């Protein structure tokens, strides 16, 4: 069975972490001093939060790091019970290393209920001598203020395009795959700064062909090409509603995309259109309205047609 590339190519130490140099330097200072406070990692998915936590544990505890590192996913058990049982039982035991403490890595901590977070706050205080916490979340605003004030906060940002491309080239070379520049551009566009998503797309594409180009990437992901979505929007804005609708229907039928998939791609395309900012604001406002209607259960075909009709009218108004 083929390895999952996300795990196979996960950085083993802090020096290998990509795109978060400032954060890495701060973490290295903890390794040098062999001490650390409770940490809060906040940021979008796929930006290196879990990777940094594991790399930090590896460098702090050495070869037997697993004995001193306990990983839990708060989205599996969200209630106060997980704090009072699993977390508390692990935190109260002595550290099996010469550093003097263990690490509990609580992934998706923003999924914990307020009661669970309140109980966790007390646990972090009581057992700080034997155990340090690393909390990882997508939205730090969902972590209660008393916990945030007890942690050193690290904010992870989406990875830059060139950092992602360099890592993908490295993986493709190691796996004996050829990847073109337009394929790299397509993956960067789709993943939107998420390295985990980028690597998964690369592996899906590699399963189809040893030579990966743009068409293979879009085939693997089941998404419409950016140029095709842009063509739909531009046709509508130029006043050719029927051509825009026919192009959209072709994308929906051939690729089997949902209305939500198309709306998300239209949203990203609007930002790069060569039109006035005021018109962009109007288009984005209506796109958000249509997306809400689809999520709430409205017929997606009717809503997408309504969106194109609005774009057509907006385009006519722009000409005047």
Model confidence over 94-109: pLDDT tens digits?
888 888 899 999 888 8
Contact between 156 and 135 (Cβ < 8 Å): no
Beta bridge partners of 39: 134, 152
Q: Mean of the pLDDT values across residues 270-280?
A: 88
d(CA 60, CA 102): 10
Q: Mean of the pLDDT values across residues 238-253?
A: 90
Quick one: residue 297, left, alpha or beta (phi over 0 = left, psi -120 to 50 = alpha)? left
Determine the pLDDT at residue 1. Answer: 36
Burial class (CB in 10 A: 0-12, 13-18, 19+), 19: buried
| pLDDT of 252 above 80 | yes
Q: For the CA atoms of 183, 189, 193, 199, what is the dihedral angle to 10 degrees?
A: -30
The domain 5-155 belongs to what CATH superfamily? P-loop containing nucleotide triphosphate hydrolases (3.40.50.300)
The pTM assigned to this predicted structure is 0.84
Quick one: residue 46, left, alpha or beta (phi over 0 = left, psi -120 to 50 = alpha)? left
Contact between 187 and 171 (Cβ < 8 Å): no
Model confidence over 141-164: pLDDT tens digits?
899 999 999 899 999 999 999 999
Q: Mean of the pLDDT values across residues 21-37?
A: 92
Tell me what the pLDDT averaged over the chain comes to. 88
The band of 26, judged by pLDDT with boundaries at 50, 70 and 90, is very high
Domain ranges of the chain: 5-155, 161-221, 226-319
Contact between 107 and 41 (Cβ < 8 Å): no
From 1.10.260.40, 1.20.120.530, 1.20.272.10, 3.30.210.10, which CATH number describes the 226-319 domain?
1.20.272.10
CATH code reported for the domain at 161-221: 1.10.8.60
d(CA 207, CA 217): 11
| pLDDT of 280 above 80 | yes
């Amino acid at each position: 069975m083929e390895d999952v590339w996300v795990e196979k190519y996960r950085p083993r130490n802090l020096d290998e972490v990509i795109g978060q140099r400032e954060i890495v330097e701060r973490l290295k200072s903890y390794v040098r001093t062999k001490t650390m406070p409770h940490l809060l990692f906040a940021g979008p998915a796929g930006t290196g939060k879990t990777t940094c936590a594991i790399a930090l544990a590896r460098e702090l505890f050495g070869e037997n790091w697993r004995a001193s590192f306990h990983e839990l996913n708060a989205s599996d058990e969200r209630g106060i019970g997980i704090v009072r049982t699993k977390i508390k039982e692990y935190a109260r035991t002595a550290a099996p290393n010469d550093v003097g403490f263990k690490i509990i890595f609580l992934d998706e901590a923003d999924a914990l209920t307020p009661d669970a977070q309140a109980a966790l706050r007390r646990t972090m205080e009581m057992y700080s001598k034997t155990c340090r916490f690393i909390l990882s979340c997508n939205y730090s605003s969902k972590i209660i203020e008393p916990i945030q004030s007890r942690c050193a906060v690290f904010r992870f940002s989406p990875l830059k395009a060139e950092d992602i491309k360099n890592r993908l080239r490295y993986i493709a070379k190691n796996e004996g795959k050829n990847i073109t520049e337009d394929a790299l551009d397509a993956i960067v566009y789709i993943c939107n700064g998420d390295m985990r998503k980028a690597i998964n797309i690369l592996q899906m594409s590699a399963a189809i062909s040893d030579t990966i180009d743009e068409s293979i990437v879009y085939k693997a992901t089941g998404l419409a090409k950016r140029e095709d979505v842009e063509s739909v929007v531009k046709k509508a804005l130029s006043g050719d509603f029927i051509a825009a609708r026919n192009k959209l229907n072709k994308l929906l039928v051939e690729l089997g995309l949902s209305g939500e998939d198309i709306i998300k791609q239209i949203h990203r395309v609007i930002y790069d259109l060569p039109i006035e900012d005021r018109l962009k604001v109007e288009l984005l406002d209506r796109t958000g309205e249509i997306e809400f209607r689809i999520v709430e259960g409205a017929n997606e075909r009717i809503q997408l047609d309504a969106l194109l009709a609005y774009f057509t009218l907006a385009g006519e108004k722009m000409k005047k």
